[in-house]
Structure formats: C-alpha cells, structure tokens
A and B are shown apart, each in its own frame.
Chain A
C-alpha cells in the first residue's frame, strides 16, 4: 500500500524558512515523479512544484519560483520542500503527491496523496 507522510509544517514568521518532508513507502520511490500541492483552508488547490524520478528535472509555480526548492533523497524515499522568504500568502496545507507513471518526468495525474501538513506564516 502506498503511503505518503508529510511533516515539517508549523508556525513561522514572515521572511522565515521552513523545510517540509514527505516520507514514502509501499512503492519503488526512485522510479516516480513527485509533486507538492498546497491548499489554503477552504479554498482551491494550487500546484507548487514537481521533481522527476532522479531529481534532475524540477519545476515550480511562478508564485514560489526563486523562494522554494524541491529535492528528493531516493536512498531515504523522501521528498523535500525548502521554503524560504515565506509570506502570509504561503499559508496553506501542503500535500505531497505521487505520479503513477514509472520512469516518467511528467505525470498524467496525481495517483496518491499524503494527508497534508499545515504551514502558517504569521507574526
């Protein structure tokens, strides 16, 4: 069974940094692209960032480009999101999501999702 467990959320001041983690199990982690999606509570979904299976190809939403960095450690089956220069508008639940496409950089959907971790940016 695929499991994705996010952690690292919390309260941070504007301008601060936070590192989110997503630990995966139940599948061969190094063969699948992974993504981060966020959602302001009560609002819609926003794709944040994606990374290919080997960690070479990385993609970002314009809203986070230059501030957030996605990475993965395939030896630990872990996905990360380093968030710097945080703003109030980054406040959201952050989900990690798995592609179903073995070996592909671009997913055809997000087949599995974690339960999310809440990031609150406030003074």
Chain B
C-alpha cells in the first residue's frame, strides 16, 4: 500500500501568514493527489485535485504543487475561515490512501 506522510501534523499560524503543508508518498504517484479541508462536524471539502488543479469555487489563495512523491499545499495568506484540518489523498493505486492530516490552528 502507498503511505502518505503529512507534515507538520499540527501548525499554529496567524491571519495573513503564508502556510505550507507537505505530503510525501512512499512511492511515485504521478500527479494523482488531492487535497481536502475539513472543519469540525463537517464532511471533507475538495480543494485541489491532480496535485495542482484548483477545484471550482475554491479561493485562489490555495495552491498545490508537486509530482512523483513530494507534494505541497500552500495557503498564501491565511484567513479566519481557513483554520481547519487538511488531508492529502493519493488516487494512483488501490487501495486509495489518505495522509494523517494537518491541523491548522490560530496562533
């Protein structure tokens, strides 16, 4: 199975900060990677797919990059509504797998 390692697992940041979350795959997954945002008590929300394609309706301050084994999710200027937990997911190979999550909290 392909393991996804997210770092950091916890991040404390201020409004306006630039935030970067990394996701490393245990083997190459091309660009078959998606990023999701989840808030407490809610279902996950798709942010980015194919490693760097922004889902319709998602603010442009979110961006994704990478291919192969190393990927990043960047929030260019953190907004109050961005405090949440973020997950990466690989869709290259079954079984599909998720990273462990990164919780972004207010400093």
Query: Which parts of A29-60 form the interface with B (CB within 8 Å)?
Result: 35, 37, 44-47, 50, 59-60
Is A108 part of the binding interface, using a Cβ–Cβ cutoff of 8 Å?
yes
CA distance A107 to B55 in the complex (A): 14
Residue B100 is within 8 A (CB to CB) of chain A in the complex: yes
- Specify the main secondary structure of chain A where it touches its partner: loop
B contacts with A, residue count (CB < 8 A)? 23
Interface residues on A, range: 20 to 34
Interface membership of chain B positions 91-102, coded 1 if the CB is closer than 8 angstroms to chain A and 0 otherwise: 100111111110
Indicate whether B23 reaches chain A with its CB closer than 8 angstroms.
no
Give residues in A with beta carbon < 8 Å to B: 35, 37, 44-47, 50, 59-62, 95, 100, 106-111, 113-116
Closest A-B pairs by Cβ, 4 of them: A109-B49, A113-B43, A109-B34, A47-B96
